Structures are given as C-alpha cells and as structure tokens.
Amino acid sequence: MSNAEMKVSIVMGSDSDMPVMAKAADILEEFGIPYEMNIISAHREPDTFFEYAKGAEDRGVKVIIAGAGMAAHLPGMCAALFTLPVIGIPMHTTSLGGRDSLYSIVQMPSGIPVATVAINGGTNAGLLAVKMLAVADESLNKKLKEYTKNMKEQVEKKDALLKEKGYKNYNK
C-alpha cells in the first residue's frame, strides 16, 4: 500500500474545533498522508453525517479522526457506521473542561471502539493515525522512526543547553 492510496478523514462538528483539528492535519501533511477535512454536525445535519460516515470507506478513507465537545457523539457515531479505526479527540469545554467530552468518547459500548487521545490532543491523534497506517507501509514506518529519532535529539539538545547554562539562564 502506498501513501497515495492511504487517506485519513478529519471531521469536526464545529469550526471552533479547527485549532485542535489543524494539529492533526499538520502531522498528516508532515508525513505526506492525504486527508480530507469536514465540518459536519451529527446532531444538526444527521442525513449529511450518515452519508459521510457510511461512504468513507468507498472514498478510500482508512482512518477517521473525529473531534467533538460536550456530548461528543461524533466519534462514536463514526465508529458505529465506519468499520475501520476511529480516533476521537475530546475538545476542551468551558462548562466541564473537556471531561464531559472525554467521558463521552471513551465510554463507548462494547463492540464500538473509539481510540481516544487527550483533551485537545490533535497532534497525538494525527500521530496515532500515522502509526495505524504505518503497520502496512514500510516507507511510512521509516518516516515514523525518523520522526521519533528527531524528537529524541531535540530533547538531548535541550538537556545539553540546560547543563551548559543552568536552569536560571536556560530561557535567556
């Protein structure tokens, strides 16, 4: 399977979720993975949502990343209609800080799993999608290993700088 055949669908119920969902898109772009991005409300436009989720596999989608806040039904409903992996991103909410979203997404009934990342975890959702796709693509797996190596090197550079400058002068 080549990267050109892989596709991720990013879906959110509101444009207020865009800053978090953009982080997932940034990761997919970094790895050269094609994706689509949509704003679809499962509650306000159920017919559109059902068409989107039921047709995802026919569009070549291999993984859905769905972000949702408050009642957070979007990821679970995607998982109910789409047989391949769904990654849920609980959104931070003003009323309960995103715990409502988190609980709604992780407490799926048996048989309808949704992989769930941290509240506002767009970057990790993108990386989890990359890891899922890398299982069947050695070149993508190599890119993922390089990404991991680069993260390690960044931490090592920061540690060396801390040792050189000391904590009081680290950010100066």
What is the DSSP secondary-structure string of 132-145?
A: HHHTT-HHHHHHHH
pLDDT of residue 70: 87
Give the whole-angstrom CA distance, residue 151 versus residue 165.
21
Listed as ranges, residues in the chain with pLDDT below 50 are 1-3
How big is the CA angle at 74 (ends 71 and 79), to the nearest 5 degrees?
125
Question: Which two three-digit tokens encode residue 148?
Answer: 């991991």
- Determine phi and psi for 154, rounding to 5 degrees: -65, -40
pLDDT of residue 1: 42
Q: In this predicted model, what pLDDT tens digit does every residue of 83-112 receive, in sequence order? A: 999 999 999 999 899 999 999 999 999 999
Residue 146's contacts (CB-CB under 8 Å, 6 or more residues apart) are none
Nearest to 103 by CA among 85, 116, 121, 113: 116
β-sheet bridge partners, residue 104: none
Residue 162 and residue 170 in contact, taking contact as beta carbons nearer than 8 Å: yes
pTM: 0.92
pLDDT of residue 3: 47
Residue 81 and residue 57 in contact, taking contact as beta carbons nearer than 8 Å: no
pLDDT of residue 135: 96
Nearest to 53 by CA among 91, 33, 79: 79
Q: What does each C-alpha distance from 44 to 48, 130, 167 come to in angstroms?
A: 9, 30, 51
